[in-house]
Structure 1
């Protein structure tokens, strides 16, 4: 405020002792001026709450990988408490405290929750702002649906960050603003423990069946909480004890504390060891939540086999570097059959043999059943491939997306039991990635001669044609061991069948599909003709009919020579094989497809037939159920081609979300409050001249209150002007004049014209604008979110202008009489 000595400037809300306003309103205006700095008692409360909340945050360690969650959780907790303390010091209302929390959340969220993605590890960018926004809303869903330990998506640490911040803000506000103003009994002090308790319970519900130091954390939490409630001044009865008994009470407190601590450690620790419930009885949310990715929502990979051999035969799909001779590149493993298609198991039917697709980080979990062969470091550069299934070799242990694909690392889902990975947003031209992988060792038939198949549970197969079951019994012959029977089926299919992809250049037609009708046709037609799709499906169905767990795997088998650097994989390299698990060895591959040989033609001349008149043929009637017929694949075209309108880039939506949410939180309340203020002003300006003049004063007083000045709830206009003038010396004269003029207009009984009222309104608005400009920017912004429309008790009791004029006329008439 210009022209005023800084040493005598009074902040809004404070009244200098001994001033005129202090004399006028002493005992009338009870104001609460929060002490700053905080007293020692409040600091102790904050430290206790911080320690208890930190014990609750440790529970997130059961589900998260590494210790990064401590940085996010404890950082958010400290920031939240800082916002709560600042709210007390600056006297922020609930709205401004909430907006400050949101601002701090976005400013520091990148460094604490997503440091690996943040610019220079601390500065926010569009990706981190979008990530923490998503994590704050959907992070709980990732916690309970993804495979532990969680290291992805990148925003996974946002949940402990935002949970710690919310608990910190609420607990700090209660400790420094609510608790000191209330009788400090134990029940009210216990309210401060609600936040840390909720955080502790959240760590349990979002954790795993294996808790993180449950006994130690539980005993420490209970012991600290009980000791704090017992020792906190004002929380018990000992605070008001006489001085003569202080030493006795203190000695009893110390003895009681020691006994309580010893009992808590001995009894609590013993109970945790002796009476601890079994791990599987622990209730966690992830045990009752279904994983979000469902492969059944996507077409079966095997159903599109012929697309590769016909339409993409010469198309360069991707370039693979690091392969060795004999390596196969897998796409998906299908273990469920319903008479129509081999499919990848959905989350509702996933078993220990098929597993479920989970979001993973840089390091991928390994399968339960494997005999490790040699390691590979393979690089894939996509050139013409477009699907959700990620081409991979063996069982990857790490998968890193490079280039523009790195932005979609949070879309990776992996099935450890089958070694199959997907990118839910799709992988296409221009994407490249690198994987470290381990191949399955290939045991010899001698080693597996007497080895049983592993006890792996797979989803059931249904609607197997009877001829397939009969042929399986026929092909095994006299073999009795699992390997002997499986090799017999494999060799019979390879030696008696012929390979045909159904191309125009093939000497014999071969229908696509692997439904029940196609499987029956494979064995009833002479000669037996098909390609990898049909033979792998038939072999797997035969193995399952004999009780052996088998799955169909689709992928690519390019020609690789020793020492070859890069291999160009084309559609014609597509293949399918079958895997069966053996106890102690892992999944062993079988290839039942015949080599490409000339298909023999029928040499028997067909008898000549007399030409018959052409007649309309009746519809074909088959005994097979229509639900078992192979589906025809219909290409509906690319959905993008159907949208002729403007396609908005994804980053625009993210930018709108990141910017729009904070802007909406700021401007929507601001517009609502501004509208209410305009209606208040319009209402006060309406009516007769004396009413409008009184409304100008009321508007000015409300504007002062909204700026943060202390306004007496029940005082005359002169007393109000004196008190406000003490807080704002520059406006003292103007306020006194306006108060006197308003009193004269309201109580004189004269008719007040609109010109006089408008002049009072202009002077009051000018004074309100001047007072607002004298404050700092932050104080002015706070005033925009404040709304005061209550008239003081004195103004309510003052007669209106018409009543005042009527009273004056009555007095003049009485004088004449």
Structure 2
């Protein structure tokens, strides 16, 4: 066992300290320093493995394998304690997380809302990063650096800690964690270590050694003082303010797009008609008056309300981001009473999670759903959550939440509506603006105007879900045509879908940022679990007020008895009685003529018809033949056109076309002509393949084509060596002499003969397959 030199121990300690300073920047992403347990464990495992390899003189490969074993053995209890066996032993789930965490964890960190708590393997990222930097750095400090101890070589060890420092910045948030303190400390430790490392290469003794130490102490003190002074000044002058910091999470858009899913409000009637008595989910922890929030829609296209997509959501819309168990807080809300809600899904099967209020924590309980925790998205501004892979029967989750305080109308008289950037509504009917102005009347303050619209819709309209039991029909939908129908009929008739949509559009006309919320309003008894049915579905409108939050409005009327329009019946006028003449007994015979209808089939009037067995035979034989022969026919037509084009034009081009046709036919037979090269190179490559496939007898071993001129011609229909044919065609193309028609015919004849000879030798199967192939030499 070899003992490490003191300088190597110093290098390792400096490397570890710098790595801790760098990785501490992950605090803003994880929302605390709990991840340091995993980071420190990674530093210890990587360092000890490299030190043990150096002490026992292991090679690099055995040392790395030892480090990997330690990584897998220690990683589960320090990064995923819930997955560890007996709290200390690795499990299959933990080992899987240790493998996939370094691959996908970094992407999860920049897309998950802070604090990052999901997926379960996310703590593997700092553990793996610290382990890798410690392993590589210690290997260099114990094996590579001692060979030549210079400050330049020592500075290579700083690459790992610097990368950790930068990763803490890029993977964090716009709020830095002790940026000045960490930055100055990192610079001081690095400079002091490099200075002492440089001085260690100077040999001295006695008074010289003491004088050298004094100089080193003085120089190091000056460097430290300068680093602190320069770092403090530069930090104040050059450090960006929080919104201007470059972090990856601000550049990466979460992959969830609500527009990939149908609008929840479009399925409103599905709940009231098809699922009215069907139990959807069971909720415990509700109090009387609580409503379940399903989806919040803030974009209107003229056809429907929907959740704004990532390209349309404004800076105040929040957007849906991957979250862990801890949910981010809303930017605009006045939160009051708390709820601990438990939801168990029964007949519900959509991607939108039923929630209550504005959540603080959300824990998926059942195994089937918790395994898909990475699919969870949450929008703190809307207070709604999405599980992109969808809920199924048996899914369960817990939600700690707080409710929005709803002030009285009198308390909001002096409160302005909050100014928020919302997606623009499109294709709003003109009647909406007219009705909004009519209902507002003389109201001046925002809350008075909104309450006036709410009251106008509620008192002048009637409720109907379009069921058979309703007194009047009510058409589903909330597009522009349905809103026009709502306001232009003699009586306003609809349900929450139409009234909430109409009020939100009217509020937008007044310039107020309104949105439509769809959810459920079950009857809640204190302390009892509530079974939510499809018939409990509802919708309402929310408008934000400055410093208060989103205030709800419920414009749907309670009246269901729509007054019927009274249409007077026409009065009957008495007519004088007139004696009618006697009816003739043979009147029917006079008015009607007996017509005999022949119901029998007359085959003589039918066109020629084939028996059924003929059609069956034709279909069973003709369809397979068409499948086999039609592609062959199409390819043959294309090949024929190709051959005609190559045999047209100038004679030298026609001679070159003979070679192109030969190469294409060889390729269709399964040979592989080179993509680039001269004709001679292609010929030799093809001849070599012919010989390798045992078809060499198809081509002669002697020259079969003489000099290319009008007087010298190759024997007709006799195969020739490809190299000879390529050389003669080269002379035709580049020789400068005129090429006669006879020579062109000879070249085509020789090319066809050589190709046919090889095709015969290749066998019937390859010839058949070649008829379906189409090659085009370029």
**TM-score, reference length from structure 2:** 0.70
1:239-388 matches, within 5 Å, as 239-241=202-204, 245-273=208-236, 276-388=239-351
Give CA-to-partner distance per residue, 1:776-809, whole Å, 9 cap, x none.
xxxxxxxxxxxxxxxxxxxxxxxxxxxxxxxxxx
> Is the 1:295–1:345 contact (alpha carbons within 8 Å) kept by the matching residues of 2?
yes
Q: What is the RMSD computed on CA atoms of the aligned residues? A: 2.3
Distance 1:528 1:221, change over 3 A: same
- The residue matched to 2:158 in structure 1 has which SS? helix
Give CA-to-partner distance per residue, 1:445-487, whole Å, 9 cap, x none.
2222332212222222122122222221222222222122212
> Is the 2:296–2:384 contact (alpha carbons within 8 Å) kept by the matching residues of 1?
yes
User: Aligned equivalents of 1:479 and 1:602: distance in 2?
Assistant: 33
Counterpart position of 1:498: 462
Distance 1:313 1:361, change over 3 A: same
Distance 1:460 1:119, change over 3 A: farther
Instruction: State the structure with bigger RCO (CA 8 A, min sep 6), 1 or 2.
Output: 1
User: Aligned equivalents of 2:218 and 2:563: distance in 1?
Assistant: 100
User: Aligned equivalents of 2:429 and 2:66: distance in 1?
Assistant: 68
> Is the 1:303–1:341 contact (alpha carbons within 8 Å) kept by the matching residues of 2?
yes
> Is the 1:185–1:236 contact (alpha carbons within 8 Å) kept by the matching residues of 2?
no
User: Aligned equivalents of 1:531 and 1:92: distance in 2?
Assistant: 77
Distance 1:464 1:100, change over 3 A: farther
1:399-418 matches, within 5 Å, as 399-404=362-367, 405-418=369-382
Task: Could you tell me which runs of 5 or more consecutive residues in structure 2 were left unpaired when the two chains were aligned.
Answer: 572-778
Counterpart position of 1:577: 540
Residue-pair matches, total: 570
> Is the 1:316–1:384 contact (alpha carbons within 8 Å) kept by the matching residues of 2?
yes
Q: CA deviation at 1:432?
A: 2.4
User: Aligned equivalents of 1:84 and 1:605: distance in 2?
Assistant: 101
Q: 2:436 aligns with which of 468, 472, 475?
A: 472
User: Aligned equivalents of 1:166 and 1:373: distance in 2?
Assistant: 47
Q: CA deviation at 1:344?
A: 1.5
Distance 1:238 1:175, change over 3 A: closer
Q: CA deviation at 1:275?
A: 5.0
Deviates more, 1:578-587 or 1:534-543: 578-587
- The residue matched to 2:538 in structure 1 has which SS? strand
User: Aligned equivalents of 1:449 and 1:52: distance in 2?
Assistant: 58
Counterpart position of 2:706: none
State which structure, 1 or 2, has the greater radius of gyration over its C-alpha atoms: 2
Counterpart position of 1:149: 115
Say yes or no: does 1:207 pair with 2:172: yes
Q: 2:78 aligns with which of 112, 115, 118?
A: 112
Say yes or no: does 1:458 pair with 2:458: no
Give CA-to-partner distance per residue, 1:261-320, whole Å, 9 cap, x none.
222233423443455442333221112111232222222111111111111110011222
> Is the 2:150–2:201 contact (alpha carbons within 8 Å) kept by the matching residues of 1?
no
- The residue matched to 2:191 in structure 1 has which SS? helix
Q: CA deviation at 1:241?
A: 4.5
Q: 1:525 aligns with which of 476, 485, 489?
A: 489
1:91-240 matches, within 5 Å, as 92-181=58-147, 183-232=148-197, 235-236=198-199, 239-240=202-203
Counterpart position of 1:484: 448
Deviates more, 1:531-540 or 1:223-232: 223-232
Counterpart position of 2:685: none
- The residue matched to 2:388 in structure 1 has which SS? strand
Q: CA deviation at 1:504?
A: 2.8
> Is the 2:2–2:56 contact (alpha carbons within 8 Å) kept by the matching residues of 1?
no
Q: 2:504 aligns with which of 521, 533, 540?
A: 540
Q: CA deviation at 1:396?
A: 2.1
User: Aligned equivalents of 1:303 and 1:368: distance in 2?
Assistant: 29
Task: Could you tell me which runs of 5 or more consecutive residues in structure 1 were left unpaired when the two chains were aligned.
Answer: 1-34, 609-817
Q: CA deviation at 1:368?
A: 2.4
User: Aligned equivalents of 1:532 and 1:94: distance in 2?
Assistant: 70
Q: CA deviation at 1:387?
A: 1.6
Distance 1:286 1:607, change over 3 A: farther
Q: CA deviation at 1:564?
A: 5.1
User: Aligned equivalents of 1:501 and 1:352: distance in 2?
Assistant: 36
User: Aligned equivalents of 2:321 and 2:66: distance in 1?
Assistant: 36
1:736-775 matches, within 5 Å, as none
Q: CA deviation at 1:421?
A: 1.6
Q: CA deviation at 1:110?
A: 0.8
- The residue matched to 1:240 in structure 2 has which SS? coil
Deviates more, 1:96-105 or 1:438-447: 96-105
User: Aligned equivalents of 1:103 and 1:416: distance in 2?
Assistant: 42
User: Aligned equivalents of 1:212 and 1:135: distance in 2?
Assistant: 24
- The residue matched to 1:76 in structure 2 has which SS? helix
Give CA-to-partner distance per residue, 1:568-600, whole Å, 9 cap, x none.
210000000001112232211111112141223
> Is the 2:461–2:559 contact (alpha carbons within 8 Å) kept by the matching residues of 1?
no
Counterpart position of 1:716: none
> Is the 1:68–1:157 contact (alpha carbons within 8 Å) kept by the matching residues of 2?
no
Q: 1:553 aligns with which of 517, 541, 550?
A: 517
Counterpart position of 1:419: 383
Counterpart position of 1:77: 43
